[in-house]
Structure 1
Amino acid sequence: MAQLSVHNVSISIEFVRSALLKLALERAEIDTLLVQCRIAPSLLNSPQARLSLTQFGQVITQLTLRSGDELLGYGKQPVPLGSLSLLMHWLLAASSPRQVLQRLCDFYRILGKGVEVEWVEDEEGVHLNFGYASHDQASQVYICEYGFFFVHRVLCWLMKEIFPIKQLLFPFSPPAYSRDYRLMFYGAPMVFNGSAARISFSADLLKRDIIQSREALPALLKDPFNQLLMLNFSQETWTSKVAGCVQSQLDDLPTLPQLAAQLQIAPHTLQRRLAVEGSSYLAIKNQIKRDSAIELLVNSKLSIEQISERLGFSETSPFTRTFKEWTGVPPSAYRKHH
C-alpha cells in the first residue's frame, strides 16, 4: 500500500502569514527568504494558497535563524536561539512524563518571555493550560497553535510514539484555515470559543516511559521545527489506511463499498471509524487529490493535461476549475510562480 510522503502533503499559506506577522523584517528580505524556500512571495496575498510541509518547515527554520527569536516575535521579549536546546537537554534527562511536564512549565516560568504554561491532573486526565490574557488576538492564536503543537510533538518524540490528544480547547473562533489543524494535531477533537487555552491527554500519559535516546538529540536540534513537523512513528489509523489506498489509485478511485472491500470491513463501519477520527472518505479524496496536484505541478515536468489524467479527471477544464477552488489560482499560474 502506498504511503503518503511529507513532500505531497500541503498546508495553508496562512500559517506562514502568522509566522511573519510580528517580525521586524523588511519586505525585500522576506521575499528573498521565501524565494529561497521555493515559495512565490505573491502567494502571501492569496489566502487560499497552499505549500508543502517541507516548504513550511524550511521557511519557519529560516525565519527563526534570521530573526534570532525562537518565538518569532510573539513573546514579550525575544526568545534567544539555543533556548530550545537547553530545554530539550533538560527534558530528555527527566525520569517520567510527570517530570517532563513539570520541567516544561518551570522552564517557561524561568525564561520569563511571556509564555505561561501550567499543568494539572484530575479525574478526567492531564491538562496543560496556556496563559494568553496579556496577548492580543493574533498572538493568542499563534501561541495556541505553536504551544499545542510543540508540547504534543515533544512528548511524542520523547516517548517514541504518537500519543493521542484527548481534546484541544481554543479561546477563539475557528480560523478560515482551521481544517489544517487536523494535520498538525493528528485529527484530535477540537473545541473553539472556549474559556481557556488547553491541551488535554488521558491519564495514561503519566504511565508512559521516556525512551528516546540521547543519540537522537543532535539530529532533532539541527533543525527542530522540521524534525517535529515530520514526526511519524507509523501510526496506523483508518484515515492513514484510506489515504494510502487513495494515493495508490488516484487515476481510478474506488467507490466507498469497493474501498471497504479492499480493507475487509463493512462500508458503514469504515464510515463510522473515519468519523471518529474526524474525517470522511470524501474529505480524504479531496485532500489527496489537491496535495498530489500541488506536488506534481511543482516537482514534475508533466503537462497539466497529464496531471489532470493522473488524478482521475476526465478533462482538463474540470481539473483547472477544481484546482482554482482549492488554491485560488489555476494550475498554470501556480506552476509559473513555483
Structure 2
Amino acid sequence: MVAEAEVSHTIPFQRVQAFVGLAERRGWDLEALLGAAGIPASLLGEHRARLTGGQVTALLGALSRATGDELLGLGLAPVPPGTLRMLLSAIMFGTNDLSTAVRRLNQFENAVPGVPRLRLSIDGDAAVVDVDITDKVDPLDFAVEALLATLHRTLGWLIGRRIELVEVWLPHEDRRHMRDYDVIFDAPVVFAAPNPALVFPADTVSTKLLRRPDELEQFWRHAPAILLARSHYGTSTSDAVRRILDEVDYGIRLGADEVAARLAMSPQTMRRRLRMENTSLSDIRDALLRDVSIASLVQGEETMAALSRRLGFSEPSAFTRAFSRWTGQPPRAYRVKDTPKLL
C-alpha cells in the first residue's frame, strides 16, 4: 500500500485461509474465486503454501466485492467497497497531525457505523491506539491482524514514515507458530490482550500529516497485499542477514564467513544471534529462495531450467526437490495457466 510489495516476499496462505472459509460458508464457487485471483486450488489445505502480494490483492478484492463488505465481516456492519478510501480522504482535509486524524475518524461513526471505533490514549512514553471490536461475537483472528496491519501502514503513510511499534496487542490465543509476526509488525506481540491495539512512542501522535488527498489513489492501489507483507526491514540480525542475501544473488555464493564479515561480527556471534531469533543462515536463505521462486512461477515468464540456474541449482530436478521441501508442493502447483483475471 505504501509502495509495491517486495517481489521476494510472499505471504502464508494461512493468512487468507479464514477469508477463504468465509466464501465456503456462503456457498460461493471457491475454485472460480481462486482462479480469478491466479491461485491454484491445489494449494488449499497445504499449510506451507505461500501467495504473492498480487494474488492476495486480487483474492481479497474479489471477496470484498462478493460480500459487499470492505472489512469482510470484521466491522459492526457491512462496509461497502470504496467507503474506507472516501473516509480517509475526508479525514485528511483540515487535519494537521496524527492525533487529530485518529480522533476525527470517530466523528464519522454515525455515517459509517460498520467501521470499528478507535481509542487513542497516552500512558507515559507510550501511545496506545486500540480497536473496539467488543460487539463482534467471533471475529476472525487473521482479520483482526490484517486490520491492525492496515491501521499501522495507513498511519505511517499519513505522516510519511514508518511508525516504529513498541508492542502489538492481539486478543486471541498465541499463534507464534505462524513465525511471520516479525515480518508484519517488526515488534513484540502480546497475545490474549483485552483489545487489539498498536503501541508506539507517544511523541509520534504530534507528527504532522504530510500526505495530500490526491496521493490517496496510488496509496490504495496496492492494498491489501502491502498490509499483509513485511512492514520494513527491521534491526534484528535475521533482518540484516536477509537484506545481505537479497542484495547479493540471493546469497547462493555467500558463505557464513562472508555474511558475518558484512555484518562486522564473527561467524560464531552471527550464528548465536540467529539461534536466539530461532533461525539460521540456511533457514533465511531457503525462505528467500522460496519467495523468489514463487514470484517467478506465478508470473510464468521464466522456464523451470532458467529459474533453477538463476537460483544456483545444478539441474531442475534438484530445484524441484528443494521447492517441494519448502512449500509441500511441486513447482508446477504454482504455475497459473489460462485463469481469468480480475478487473
TM band (smaller chain): 0.7 to 0.9
Contact 1:61 1:226 (8 Å CA) reproduced: no
Shift of 1:33: 2.8
CA distance in 2, matches of 1:91, 1:273: 43
CA distance in 1, matches of 2:152, 2:180: 16
Shift of 1:252: 2.9
Contact 1:90 1:103 (8 Å CA) reproduced: no
- Three-state SS of the structure 1 residue aligned to 2:127 is strand
Partner of 2:22: 22
Structure with more of its chain in helix, by fraction = 1
CA distance in 2, matches of 1:45, 1:108: 38
- Three-state SS of the structure 2 residue aligned to 1:6 is coil
- Three-state SS of the structure 2 residue aligned to 1:204 is helix
Shift of 1:260: 3.0
Partner of 2:165: 165
Q: In terms of mean alpha carbon deviation, does 156-165 or 190-199 score higher?
A: 190-199
CA distance in 2, matches of 1:220, 1:267: 41
Q: 1:180 to 1:165 in 2, by over 3 A?
A: same
Contact 1:118 1:129 (8 Å CA) reproduced: yes
Residue type of the alignment partner of 1:14: Q
Q: In terms of mean alpha carbon deviation, does 75-84 or 318-327 score higher?
A: 318-327
Partner of 1:121: 122
Partner of 2:261: 261
- Three-state SS of the structure 1 residue aligned to 2:335 is helix
1:22-81 deviation digits (Å, cap 9, x = unpaired): 3575432x3223212211123223232111012111221222223221111233321122
Contact 1:34 1:59 (8 Å CA) reproduced: yes
Partner of 2:209: 210
Shift of 1:291: 0.4
- Could you list the runs of 5+ residues in structure 2 that have no partner in the other structure? none
- Could you list the runs of 5+ residues in structure 1 that have no partner in the other structure? none
Q: How many residues align?
A: 331
CA distance in 2, matches of 1:109, 1:25: 28
Residue type of the alignment partner of 1:197: P
1:182-219 deviation digits (Å, cap 9, x = unpaired): 3322x222122334322111113123221112321233
Ranked by relative contact order (alpha carbons within 8 Å, sequence separation 6 or more), the top structure is: 2
CA distance in 1, matches of 2:86, 2:53: 26
1:257-311 deviation digits (Å, cap 9, x = unpaired): 3113235555567668879999764443222111012123333555545534433
Residue type of the alignment partner of 1:256: A
- Three-state SS of the structure 2 residue aligned to 1:118 is strand
Residue type of the alignment partner of 1:100: A
CA distance in 1, matches of 2:141, 2:39: 23
Partner of 2:98: 97
CA distance in 2, matches of 1:255, 1:84: 47
CA distance in 1, matches of 2:108, 2:278: 34
Task: Using the aligned pairs only, state the percent identity.
Answer: 27
Q: 1:235 to 1:289 in 2, by over 3 A?
A: closer
Partner of 1:190: 189
Residue type of the alignment partner of 2:75: G
Partner of 1:199: 198
Residue type of the alignment partner of 2:188: P
CA distance in 2, matches of 1:268, 1:297: 36
TM-score (norm 1): 0.81
CA distance in 1, matches of 2:36, 2:222: 17
Q: In terms of mean alpha carbon deviation, does 35-44 or 242-251 score higher?
A: 242-251
CA distance in 2, matches of 1:320, 1:32: 27
CA distance in 1, matches of 2:321, 2:174: 27
- Three-state SS of the structure 2 residue aligned to 1:98 is helix
Q: 1:136 to 1:157 in 2, by over 3 A?
A: same
Shift of 1:136: 4.3
CA distance in 2, matches of 1:309, 1:13: 27
Contact 1:157 1:212 (8 Å CA) reproduced: yes
Shift of 1:254: 1.5
Partner of 1:285: 285
- Three-state SS of the structure 2 residue aligned to 1:144 is helix
Contact 1:274 1:280 (8 Å CA) reproduced: yes
Q: 1:325 to 1:105 in 2, by over 3 A?
A: farther
- Three-state SS of the structure 2 residue aligned to 1:148 is helix
Contact 2:76 2:135 (8 Å CA) reproduced: no
Q: 1:193 to 1:203 in 2, by over 3 A?
A: same
The root-mean-square deviation of aligned C-alpha atoms, in Å, is 3.5
Partner of 1:178: 178
CA distance in 1, matches of 2:235, 2:176: 26
Q: In terms of mean alpha carbon deviation, does 253-262 or 316-325 score higher?
A: 316-325
Shift of 1:99: 0.6
- Which runs of structure 2 are paired with 1:1-338 in the superposition (5 Å)? 6-23=6-23, 25-28=26-29, 30-93=30-93, 94-108=95-109, 111-113=112-114, 115-137=116-138, 139-175=139-175, 178-185=178-185, 187-221=186-220, 224-226=223-225, 237=235, 242-247=241-246, 248-250=248-250, 252-264=252-264, 267=267, 281-300=281-300, 302-313=302-313, 319-335=319-335
CA distance in 1, matches of 2:291, 2:221: 27
Contact 2:79 2:115 (8 Å CA) reproduced: no
